[in-house]
Structure 1
Amino acid sequence: MNRLSLTLSRGIAGVTESALGPYQSAIIRIGFAGTWLLFLLREFPHRQELYGPAGPWGWNLAKELTADNHAFTALLWSDGQLWFESFYLLAILASTALLLGWRTRTASVLFMVGVLSLQNRSVFVGDGGDNVLHLMSFYLVFTRCGQVWSLDARRAAHAEAARARGERVRADRVGPALWAVFGLALVMATFTGRFDNGWLIPALLWTALVALGLWWAVGRWARTQQPRILLDVVANVLHNGALVVIMAEACLIYATAGWYKIQGSRWQDGTAVYYPLHLDYFSPWPGLADLMSSSGTIMMVVAYGTVMVQVAFPFTLFNRRVKNVLLVLMMTEHAVIAIVLGLPFFSLAMIAADAVFLPTSFLRRLGVLAARARGRLVRRADRTVPAPRSPEESPEENAQGRVGFTA
């Protein structure tokens, strides 16, 4: 009984005292924000046809559909071109901020608003990865995904080092400014009746606004540590719960996909992979597709291997080595899909979802390698820029430079 109580108390302490998986949450933040940002930039010349007010999926059709399914989209608040262009730019900026980890709490909320608004505006735009991104953008709001590999973590480290040296840390001005702008926009949207299709997203936005304001107020005026500790506990519980939901969602995606494939006759006889390789829409490299489909053995191995990996993956989480092997196989499979079938954003979204299962030791080594590569690039850039010479070192060249500039 005592051992059970000790184990239970340790489990509760682990869930409440810290936000687990900081590297995993950071990599999925970077993965999903980067995927959506690349998609928005790639489709920037075609944004009018995809999501614009005069696109094929017209304004009236979109209004009728959202009135029926109660989906949230801010793009239907106005049919003006200026609103659409401003919102598309806001979605790009929010994705960039989340990718870099700048003001992650606010950026994650704006990222979710951008994803839901654009995708619900034209529901027939997407390749399967949009469904994953749709769900994950909602889950990311509840995570503390800026603990590492972010500008937020860098700013917090600099502030902590300054306090350790006895220096005075400047009060945060950007955070309250973002909170004020976010709050003003939310108040206007609420009292002008923009949230008329459902209550879930408005409730989440208001909760996020109150939480941001409360967090800032406690950090600014609380005289004791108890309120901050309480907020940390709540944030840790939400983060850990959201991380579990993200893992469960990824397992559910693979399990359902695998079991549905088992029921299909084309997957049973091993010919399912052959057909998409010969569709014009999924053949950016016809020669490569013909080469792969020329062997019936390869087609059967790929079909059967895909089913077995997808069905088996949720059960391999209890064995670290087998799980890591299947992770490599699935990420390789998605990379092949991106190249052979021309579905890069679907593959990136799935790889980002898979990354939540990557081991912490591997992610740390990946971070060290990235830091070394960045350092080499910075040093190389510094070497290419000539150092300025003082007038004492070369008065002739300095004089010639002044004459040339004057002329």
Structure 2
Amino acid sequence: MTSLGGFLEFYDFIIYALMAVYIADQFFPSHDSFTSMLTTFATFSVGYFVRPLGGLVFGHLGDRFGRKPTFVATVLIMALSTFLMGCLPTYSQVGLWAPLMLVGLRVLQGFSIGGEIPGAMTYLSETVDRRRGLVMSLLFMVLANGVVFGSLVHAFMLWWLPVDEMKAWGWRIPFWLGGTMGICSYVVRKQFQESDLFLQLAKRKAQSAVPLFHLLQSHRRQLLVGIFLILPVATSMTLLFLFTPGYLTKMLGYSAGDVALAGSIGIFLSSVVFIAFGLLADTVSLRSLLCVASGIIVLFSVPVFYWYGAGVDVYSVMLVSALIQGSITGVAPLALSELFPVNVRYSGIAFCYNVSFALFGGLTPVIAMTLIGWTNNLQSPAWYLMVSGLFGLLATCMMSVPRRPSAAQL
């Protein structure tokens, strides 16, 4: 139940990326497809930029007043903003107001997801002492399958509706579906119980008055390590699975249906890799696994984009993408959850997770398109992915967390 909201959050958030081609036509019309897509992805990035703010707000509330209220608030905000995105008028109907309203709703989406995933990580880290690697990887497996579900909805829409109808009105349906599911999740979340460790903390009145200040004063190194740990997670997810639908169809001429289906298969397989690395994390040195996962990114970044440019079967390349993304996501969140004590854990996880996704995940589509424009080389985004793997190796060298701290560590 902890991961149910995250499943829906990931579905709602990535639907925008999957509908990017249609949103570009309806909200950012341009005779130049490159400019139209770049503007659309820039709006996608706005949602990432406000994630740190949402993380700070919900992290503060979670560390001061409890975990449960954040679960209720984040999913409600996400549900309403997602549903309303499907109701927006287009540029041809209201002009500039259309993209402005779209940006506003993207801000609300990003704000809510900034508190969602860190909250789930915090809750699990406080309630699980054994098989923590497996449990954390299961959380992200469910989250990833929210992306799979969104991709399958996209594939179904492409099969069901002609391209013209998808552009005209079909793109709205996935947003309405996500909003409806979000309301259902809100009803379920109201029944959640508070974390026992937080209740013990509150009973002793040991909460940090301002968790962010405490982090900046006493845990600066952990904050930097945490950002570097999540950097390759954010970059690989966004570049390999969220950026590719528009990139492969508009710039490399791949079939939209094949790309959507291959993306779904790739993300599902990456979630299987999560579990494999999570199981290993319960028996093998976490530092060693982080080195292996980061090394996989460094080694396979260039080949993946070379194969796409050479027209290699999209399903085959997605298998390699699944290994790249799945290996690092199977271990990095676990390492992050072990960096901070309970009284600032929610805020610490939220700060690192959201700063990484905002600065590196959120900018990934824009950076990728900019690299392509500067170099006139469609394979140039590979170098950005490779650098993210190097940061993962740097974080591994810097981290100094205990091998397996107790969930109750204060």
TM over 0.5, shorter chain: no
User: What is the TM-score with the length of structure 2 in the denominator?
Assistant: 0.23
Q: Give the structure, 1 or 2, with the largest relative contact order (CA under 8 Å, sep 6 or more).
A: 2
Between Structure 1 and Structure 2, whose CA radius of gyration is higher?
Answer: 1
